[in-house]
Amino acid sequence: MSQTENSIYAQVAFPLTSFKNFIYLIPTDLKNEIKIGSCVLAPIRNKERVGFVIKISDKSEYGGKIYELKGGLEKDLSIPRDLWQTLNWISFYYFCSIGKVIKSAIPLSFKRNLKSKKNSYVKITDFGLKNIENLSRKAKSQIEILNSLSLVNEPVRISSLKIIAVSATSICKKLSETGYVEISYKNEIYNPLDDSPFIISQQIKLNDEQLISYKRILDKFINYSFSVNYIHGVTGSGKTEIYIKLSESVLKKGKTVIILVPEIALTPQISARFKSYFGDKIALWHSKLTNAEKLWTWKEIKKGRFSIIVGARSALFTPMKNLGLIIVDEEHDYSYKQDRVMPYYHARNTALMRAKFAEIPIVLGSATPSMEMYYQKITKRITWTELKNRYGGANLPSVQMVDMMEEIKKNDNFKSFLSSELKIEIQNCLDNSEQVILMLNRRGYATVQQCLCCSEILNCPNCSISLTYHRKGEKLICHYCDFKEKIGIICKSCGSSEVHFLGSGTQKVEEELIHYFPKVRILRMDIDSVQSKGGHQKILTKFGNGEAEILLGTQMIAKGLDFPDVTLVGVLNADTGVFMPDFRAGERNFQLIYQVVGRSGRHEKPGKAIIQTFNPKEISISTAAHQDLKQFYNATIAQRNDLFYPPFSRISRFICSGLDKVEVKKRIYSIYYMLKKVEGVRILGPSIAPIEKINNSWRYHLIIKYDIKKPHVLHRKYKNSILSMLDKTLNNVKVQLDIDPISIL
């Protein structure tokens, strides 16, 4: 089409890593259809690709040939205005191409046809309703299933009954044969939430403390303008009940809700609670969904089928129309920061921006607030509410700290990872038919393989860290680059056979538990055990069903879990990570211990926690043991102020990496000389990164600190220079910029 005075042009971004965008001519018949955020087909590199319109103009400064757009690919892919503004903000603030942001945020597997799946449902019959009491008392699972079905008037997906009985399918078949239930089948698109546990809806009655918090936050909802609201509640205080009631008020006004949780492991429990209350208005969204599940969910969201989305950080990018509320549960959690691939965004901060663009309230909650949000409370910039007591009258657990140095002194040749106190308490729980949660924040079997003759430690050949021994497959594995090799019994350095494994991981502790408690049933929950689809949910469902007495895991079991029979929590090594060269190490350790202790005694049975440590006087450990949040936060706030660290400043981190150490060092120094010219910044470094080498790449870094009120100090004069260095490699050296980094390792 020829260009005329009435021509309209679209600037299109493609889901690519490049910062370049392209100009296209909008056909006359599509001028009224194509808008900012529209998904289009556009020719690029002799192919037609999916792109998104980021700007529309009646002028073009490009002097070459301008191609024509082919029209909208699919209206389902177009996104709401507030979401589009959020994606643009991520691109700007985190120095990431809009194309890369789009690729990260929007699933593009929409060309595939969806296949329906045959799903089985069950409904209690009139005969079943009248004859439940006639069943044998030995048929406990049958009675429980029938009692649950008697409370609903519609068919229930059989797989959702597995929280009541693992063999729900075979039980329902038996009940069908005797006329107690009817089984039906539907060919339908698979909804990921259909496999969540079936929970009978119960009326929520807020206690006095919850009601005060609820009403104070609800007052901010009157005009539905942007407001930041915080629920600081002790573990088990009932924050979820308030989330549900707030969501209910939003849905009554015809608006929608996004609920963020930090880890996929937490989605089953909270989504089940919301599903029991709101039914089929709920959908799940997280990275473990298949492409088909994402496609189906996305399209149903666009149709308006769902009013509430529950998921991990990527759920923030779902195209919810008429958004009325965003909830960020466990806002302190470091999993909200994406730090492996671009864009390196923080979901909590991004949620604040989406709420601001949508002009709606946002509610954040945690028992252990982040320092940034706690400072907002001190400066009175947000609406802060507190829940000081547990919901339902339960008490906080009693906490005992065990000095493992004293334990070693008391017992000759002490090599156990379980103190005598912890073993006694575990046995007491087993005797009382109660459950135990044990946390060790290290996966694998042993963390170090060392020669006792020459002291050589077997490190990863690609990274500056030791290899971790995993019992399964008898392999040594690097947790950074995934290098694997079979274990050796001879030292590679001196040839000695005196090679031993030191340190402990969850696999080794599991072995020791079996030794001391041979009849106990143990479930281990770490990255290695949840690789399969639905792995988190399967483990938690089994534990909830009472199929194991002990749940052993890493930090993924520390928060959000609520099991009525858990009366003991054991922290096997409270020192893990506390002495890392990272200013947030203490904060992270305090939050982890405080949160996992809160898994104990959340219902009628009183709870206890045992914290094992070699450093009982370390402040993050001692204050967490005494559940003294105020002392820890005040001490940490004072220290951060003295050192000009967040929340009193903002920090950004440049990392250079490459195969040639000399070139990497040159590149980081060139960035240093550029940043020296920037007014108002303090530079730490350049220096070798704490983890010097990852995947054969040497790493140098530098950190800059700047005024909290000037978040765009790098954007003003150096945006183009920074974008250029991030977009290209020079002498095979890659540059990474992490704005507001969570870790500086």
Q: What is the pLDDT of residues 687-737, one digit of tens each?
A: 999 989 998 999 999 999 999 999 998 988 888 888 888 877 888 999 999
Q: Does residue 397 have a cis bond before it (omega within 30 degrees)? A: no
Residue 663 has pLDDT above 90, yes or no: yes
Q: Which of 315-324, 391-400, 668-677 has the lowest mean pLDDT?
A: 391-400
Residue 471 has pLDDT above 80, yes or no: no
* Distance of alpha carbon 46 from alpha carbon 191, whole angstroms: 38
- What are the pLDDT digits (tens) for 338-380? 988 889 999 999 999 999 999 999 999 999 999 999 999 999 8
Q: Which of 70-74, 534-538, 688-692 has the lowest mean pLDDT?
A: 70-74
- What are the pLDDT digits (tens) for 104-146? 888 775 555 666 678 889 999 999 998 888 888 778 889 989 9
The type of residue at 119 is N
Which token pair is 99? 């194309």
Residue 489 has pLDDT above 80, yes or no: no
Question: Mean of the pLDDT values across residues 582-599?
Answer: 93
* Distance of alpha carbon 602 from alpha carbon 254, whole angstroms: 34
**CB neighbours of 223 closer than 8 A, spacing ≥ 6?**
none
- What are the pLDDT digits (tens) for 142-157? 998 998 898 888 888 8
Question: Mean of the pLDDT values across residues 633-651?
Answer: 94
Say which residue the tokens 């977009």 belong to.
727
What pLDDT shows up at residue 745? 83
The type of residue at 359 is E
- What are the pLDDT digits (tens) for 13-34? 887 766 778 889 888 888 888 8
- Contact at 8 Å (CB) between 179 and 132? no
Say which residue the tokens 């000081």 belong to.
388
pTM (2 d.p.): 0.85
**CB neighbours of 418 closer than 8 A, spacing ≥ 6?**
426, 509, 512, 513, 516, 570, 572
526/518: higher pLDDT = 518
Range list of β-strands (E), 367-474: 383-387, 398-403, 435-439, 448-451, 468-470
What pLDDT shows up at residue 196? 60
What pLDDT shows up at residue 631? 95
Q: Which of 16-25, 416-425, 581-590 has the lowest mean pLDDT?
A: 16-25
What pLDDT shows up at residue 200? 58
* Distance of alpha carbon 542 from alpha carbon 548, whole angstroms: 7
- What are the pLDDT digits (tens) for 206-261? 999 999 999 999 998 877 789 999 999 999 899 999 999 999 999 999 999 999 99
Residue 515 has pLDDT above 60, yes or no: yes
Which of 11-25, 502-516, 570-584, 613-627 is predicted most confidently? 613-627
Residue 2 has pLDDT above 90, yes or no: no
What pLDDT shows up at residue 594? 94
Please name which of 493, 492, 459, 491 lies closest in space to residue 478, comparing C-alpha atoms.
459
What pLDDT shows up at residue 1? 44
Say which residue the tokens 């007495």 belong to.
549
What pLDDT shows up at residue 410? 82
What pLDDT shows up at residue 610? 96
Strands 9-13 and 308-311: what pairing?
unpaired
Question: Mean of the pLDDT values across residues 647-651?
Answer: 95
* Distance of alpha carbon 196 from alpha carbon 69, whole angstroms: 43
Strands 227-233 and 383-387: what pairing?
parallel
The SS3 of residue 337 is strand
Q: How far apart are the first and last CA of the chain?
A: 54
Say which residue the tokens 């707030």 belong to.
246
What pLDDT shows up at residue 115? 66
Say how many C-beta atoms besides its own lie within 10 A of residue 225's C-beta: 11
* Distance of alpha carbon 227 from alpha carbon 699, whole angstroms: 41
Residue 78 has pLDDT above 60, yes or no: yes
**CB neighbours of 354 closer than 8 A, spacing ≥ 6?**
82, 83, 85, 86, 316, 323, 326
H-helix or E-strand spanning residue 122: strand 117-124
Mean pLDDT, all residues of the chain: 87
50: exposed, middle or buried (Cβ count in 10 Å: 0-12, 13-18, 19+): buried
Q: Provide, rounded to the nearest whole percent, the portion of the chain with pLDDT above 70.
A: 94
Q: Which of 99-103, 334-338, 684-688 has the lowest mean pLDDT?
A: 99-103
The type of residue at 12 is V
The SS3 of residue 540 is helix
The SS3 of residue 11 is strand
Residue 39 has pLDDT above 90, yes or no: no
Residue 163 has pLDDT above 50, yes or no: yes
Q: Please give, one letter per residue, the 3-state secondary structure of 643-695.
A: HCCCCCEEEEEEEEEECCHHHHHHHHHHHHHHHCCCCCEEEEEEEEEEEEEEC
